């Protein structure tokens, strides 16, 4: 990735009760059931290279995170 000049982080809480996956071949929709597992905490880090390009250097998600559940 080259020499890292700076780094930034971001966290986001998401309610995925209205987010659906859809299989393009079968057209089957996989709905996320309501409940604690529908809330997801996303944590990402971006690093800026010596060339000035921001790249994702780390990413994780925690489904049912206690910090997200209402």
CA end-to-end distance (rounded Å), the chain: 39
Return the half-sphere exposure (C-beta side, CA atoms, 13 A cut-off) of residue 51: 5
Instruction: Tell me the pLDDT tens digit for each residue of 9-24.
Output: 888 888 888 888 899 9
Task: List the structure tokens of 9.
Answer: 């982080």
> For residue 46, what pLDDT is reported?
92
> For residue 3, what pLDDT is reported?
55
Show the low-confidence residues of the chain (pLDDT under 70). 1-5, 70
pTM summary value = 0.62
């Amino acid at each position: 990735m080259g020499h890292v000049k700076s780094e930034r982080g971001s966290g986001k809480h998401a309610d995925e009760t209205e987010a659906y996956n859809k299989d393009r071949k079968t057209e089957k929709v996989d709905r996320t059931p309501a409940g604690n597992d529908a809330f997801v905490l996303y944590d990402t880090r971006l690093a800026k290279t010596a060339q000035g390009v921001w790249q994702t250097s780390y990413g994780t998600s925690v489904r049912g995170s206690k910090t997200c559940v209402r």
